[in-house]
A and B are shown apart, each in its own frame.
Chain A
């Protein structure tokens, strides 16, 4: 176990040195972090091994239109420098307050495009009370979007060529909801409907940032589609408690062993 991991555990338990890490942050601090009544949480997740070969998926439906694309498995995506993509990092603690700026700046829609016979993007989050889910079809073939959030209306929508659809989620979920296309079984995406803005999805470089968190001890959840809750020795049940201080709180680079993500 690396020294860094030890330090991270120490951090998570005492949260006394969060400020020290702020200095080392790569992500530039913007408006919210400057405000001293809110904190940001950032970090970088790294796949500690060679980037896995992404398996080519069987495209045997609508072959005339979809067959020409090189469609590959998206369930484990690792960036060029080892950054682990598509990990959801989100607040588990009860939301006490949300900064007004966040409420104002949020986009009205979350877009899911059906393009080149896949869903783009692969992972989405949505703030139910402020955003609607917007689905469009850029392919020359009808697409279908189906998902069944827990205790919420299930959806099974046809999106004909050149059309779109919108959807409202009625309640927050406790983890991301898989989206499928009943016409093209290889298509897959995730959406996480919640009632707050405190969800981040790691990007191609493996970094994530959650902005505008209230200060104090907060519990965060890590989730990835291959692992469900991303459980490690330091993150029991995929959870981590961090004492959020004003400004930027950086978890640094966290290396995750490939064995966690092996296909079961």
Chain B
């Protein structure tokens, strides 16, 4: 399996290609450059997404109060500085879409799969550099379309990021369901094409281009996570593509896949025989695996960083792989827990409750294994490690409430309330962002050849960590009090008046947390040019990416690709002088490879 044949094929890539500015920085086929392109694009989209959340949080905390900020940024959509109800819905919709797909799928998976797969398995590049480039540029195109939809006359899509029809299908139901929704659908269709090209490339690369000695059971957990993530993407994204296509047909060509018996604005529409519930099934068939597409790469990154910074092998390597596989498998058969009260057969609800709660088991194994990994370690508190510990913390806090939401009987009363928002933001939003930050701080020297400032990293982490809990912990309580999500203001219900002060607390934390990201942005961009020069293996890590030269070359290794002789986690192994043994170091005389 491990393909060493490719060393010949790629050897000539090493030095003598003259690269122009365009082939090097724009239409690059080098995975390292493409990874950086994904990261920068994802960062810009992230800034937009976070700014939107800060705006709608201000609206929730101080509903209907004029705000110069709104007047300036929203223009005619905020007459006299009072945010319009449709704009509120548009903001939450685009915030969700951007954060889930553009930041946490493309920005996270796109960056680190591209950067690490070839480097950690010992390959010169991706299986197809060209497809990789196409994948990035499709992602870029879809980002541009999504952002341009913000400037449409009737506003961008505003039906929630889940775009349930008929609301999303009928322009007369909502302003955003006109051109804005068309652009949303086109953008997502292109995004899916991009994601599939990327995923196919990752899978093929991991299967075929591993260096000599890199068996599947010697792969770092990052690679396992990216590999399985890519497979989930290939299985589930096409279903969303189909759903989007059918919705486009319903919208533009008069078909009735998701629509039936509709009377709106004084007239009966011709649609008959379709079902919105069908759309929900198709959407969540992707939508649920999607949260694992978001979180698995973060899990892989965190596993790697925790081992390296604890100077200890990851605890239960095999169990970690098994649980990744179990989570991946289960993730495709739990989508119905988003639909307990959708009108589907209650028996199906029972089945989905059962499968959903099963996911808690591999998740618990992972959490305990991480905790055991740091036990009796020699923990190096680098910013990447802080974010990894933060990841485990929010993953546990957010994950635990899943046993309430996954339980159909309990979901009835907290479905679509702020309890759900608190749950999924902690377990896959904040956690995945932490995973991404951890990865950036850790592999920054590999990406840019310089180090990020650690003190700024510490400050960034602590402000973010406190704000994250400040925002989402109290949110559980207003959710349990029955406050529905996606309400432009809660003032129509005196019943919820006693929740108003909680919402102010949440917003204040959200604003602090949002502004704190400037520290990170400063650190990120300034360090590219002025950061301390990195050494080859600053974190004293075992994996192959740290055997490449600091300065990037096309083809990664100047000479032969190193061969692998051991797994990725020989930290503090007895019998060695240093506390890490790199994967390309042959076993000593009489040394046994761990039966992991």
A binds B: no
Measuring CB to CB, which residues of chain B are less than 8 angstroms from any residue of chain A?
none
